[in-house]
Amino acid sequence: MQICVRLSDSWNLLDQVDKTLCVLHPQHPKRTDLSRRIAVSDLATALFEVSPERYYPKIVVYGPKSITTSLNAKAKNIKNLWSSSRSARDNLQEALGIRLPEPQSFDQNDIRLECGICLSYDLDGDNPDQICTNDIYVI
């Protein structure tokens, strides 16, 4: 029971993420899943990872270097910008300085990442240990 109390804030945050952001993976999250892969744009996704030891999430953006370099630099400052008085969506938009896709109008098929690193998220197992360097825009 004590572990459930410890994880309740993390679970509440993930519930909020599941309702307000475009979650790509896992498609059917369990309470043991403490991370989400979310859509950032049609060319970039982010790993959103929570921990009961931190009040803010860890964010790593994957996709073309031309997009991810500045977003990952901003994501490193998330602990200074994260506010429990704002929603997860508002916090992420504030920290990254972008407008995130709306879940109501989002179609998962709109994601145009066609590389092995990006597609490896759909496989069971660990997340890729390399960042996608694909700067080719697929149209």
Reply yes or no on whether the pLDDT at 128 is more than 80. no
Per the model's pLDDT, the better-predicted residue between 98 and 134 turns out to be 98
pLDDT for the residue 132: 59
Q: What is the pTM of this model?
A: 0.77
CA distance 95 to 138: 27
Reply yes or no on whether the pLDDT at 137 is more than 50. no
Q: Which residues pair with 48 in a beta bridge?
A: 36, 59
- For the stretch 9-57, pLDDT in tens is 999 999 999 999 999 889 899 999 999 999 998 788 899 999 988 889 9
Domain residue limits, the chain: 2-122
Hey, which CATH number is domain 2-122, 3.40.1190.20, 3.20.20.20, 3.40.190.10, 3.10.110.20?
A: 3.10.110.20
CA distance 27 to 36: 9
- For the stretch 48-92, pLDDT in tens is 999 988 889 999 998 888 889 999 999 999 999 999 899 999 999
Other CB atoms within 10 Å distance of the CB of residue 11: 14
- For the stretch 106-126, pLDDT in tens is 666 666 555 666 667 656 666
